[in-house]
Chain A
Amino acid sequence: MKLTEQDLVIKAKAGDYRAFEELVYAYDRRVLATVYRFTGDPDDAKDLYQDIFIRAFKGLKKFEFKSSFSTWLYRIAVNVCLTHKAKAGKRNYESLDDPYPDSEDSKTEQYEDKSGSLSPEKSLLGSETQAVVRKAVDSLSPRLKMVFVMKHYDGLKIKEIAEMLETKEGTVKKYLFEAVHILRGRLAGYLEN
């Protein structure tokens, strides 16, 4: 009989490595996809993926079923991604006055497009368009980007994202609208075409 996720977590908490491995297999592709979409770099994605599961492995004993295992795991993934970006903070996130807005009260990120709209005439079509889109997404601040990736690429509901970010749904909506607003500005030329 196939074990349920809860059974696997209980076994893994008790030190059953095989059970933990099964949990890894259940979610690792999704986690890898998220971190890869977030970082855009395969080596970074591999490092973050490993970091996430090692943290999960070490922290499993503290998991108390207050949320689903997947939410708990994604919460680790989000923290690892955001911490990674914070560490790599040498990069300039355009339009950032407050790089880590944490609450409803935090300052709204600036909308203006300091890099200027990307001119389609200067780029080729196809893969170059993809590169331009990726660059535009990559230029979002870490939290806006995280929310955007989770919503647009991973297809999560706002409620789920809020749970993973441990914030309010309203905050997630705000981030999402801001991200979309910024992207619309940066990709204006492509959208018109």
Chain B
Amino acid sequence: MEHQEIKELVLLHAYGELDGYSEELVKNHLATCAGCREILNNEMHLRNLVNTATPEPDEKLAGDARLQLRAALRIETEKKFTPEKLINSFREFLYLNYRPILSGAVMLVVGFLLSLFVRLNSSSGDEQNPAEINLSDLLKSGMKINNLRILASDPKTGQMEIEFETFRNVKLSGSFNDQNIQSVMMYSILNDENPGVRLNSINMVDSKKERGIDKDVKAAVLTAAQYDENPGVRRSALKTLAGLPFDDEIKTALINIMSYDQNAAFRIEAINILAESQKGTGKIDDEVQKALRQRIENDDNNYIKLKAKTVLEERNI
């Protein structure tokens, strides 16, 4: 083997990339070649020097990055949520409740257009205007018209085309466990732009939680507790979680809040709920222990460090 090839193998030996025959070959060569020993020494020096400057992300950077990622993922999941999950969740609801409304809207458009056509073209006033019947009935039933636009109008023939939107308030009656009502709650908690509405929805869930809540509603509350931008909404969601049967999903959410919520009060509350949940179990869950230790080491709030330490010490950990 050429000496140049051996020199290359010496570098690979330094990187721990050789095995078997090649490794043995290099070792034997190094025993007799001062030049290659120097190459190896230089390589090890460089390695040591470079290793002293290894950039390592600290806990804060890691925490911030995760927090940012969660927010971004939330947006992505909501994007996915809207066309797929949401439509599926509401499909039944829509078919059950909106079918008459949609049919009515179609009838309204057809009728209204027909009435306009008849009115504009009729030379005698004897014909009955079908739109008057449909329109008044539908409007009496609460239907509203919005954004009327004239799309086309022919002054010679009198024909025209118009477009408008119809909407109607929907009232739902039923028990809290009704699937439709829980779906609306879930949608509102996750998507309503008004934090007051999100808060009311969570409070409603909280007040009825003894009756049992749907898994999607629970997921919405978990999401709100961790990611809602409004602290009041997060606080209410956290309070609701405290009253639900403790499980792994809630544990993970509480650990996240304890680790990453920027509001110290929520981190403390998460520790309290976690500590309470571990009572009577005789020991503290490994993940909870680990998260508490991280708080002791990394939290910038001394009370939280003390609180986490106390929780562990109370269990002699």
Contacts and interface: CB of A to CB of B under 8 A. Distances in A.
Contacts of A15: 80, 84
Q: Kindly list the 7 A-B residue pairs having the minimum CB-CB distance in the complex, ordered from nearest.
A: A133-B53, A130-B53, A36-B57, A46-B65, A49-B65, A50-B69, A37-B55
Contacts of B47: 152
Interface stretch (A3-11, A51-59, A84-92, A107-115): A51-59
Interface string A38-81: 00101001100110011001100000000000000000000000
A183 interface: yes
B68 A46 contact: yes
Interface stretch (B8-16, B23-31, B193-201): B8-16
B243 to A, nearest CB: 22
A36 B42 contact: no
Interface residues of A, number: 42
Contacts of B61: 32, 36, 42, 45-46
A173 B12 contact: yes
Contact of A134 (B43, B55, B57): B55
A133 B52 contact: yes
Nearest to B56: A33
Interface in B19-61: 42-43, 45-47, 49-57, 61
Contact of A183 (B46, B55, B73): B46
6 contacts: A28-B65, A36-B55, A57-B73, A133-B53, A177-B11, A187-B49
B57 A45 contact: yes
Interface residues of B, number: 33
Chain A interface, DSSP helix/strand/loop, else mixed: helix
Contacts of A18: 249
Interface string B72-95: 110011001000100000000000
A96 interface: no
A129 interface: yes
A24 B69 contact: yes
A18 B12 CA distance: 41
B66 interface: yes
Contacts of A40: 55
A123 to B, nearest CB: 13
B171 to A, nearest CB: 32
A144 interface: no
B54 A153 contact: yes
Nearest to B11: A177
Given A36-B55, A180-B43, 14 more contacts: A21-B73, A29-B57, A36-B56, A45-B57, A46-B65, A57-B73, A133-B50, A173-B8, A176-B15, A177-B11, A180-B46, A183-B46, A184-B46, A187-B49
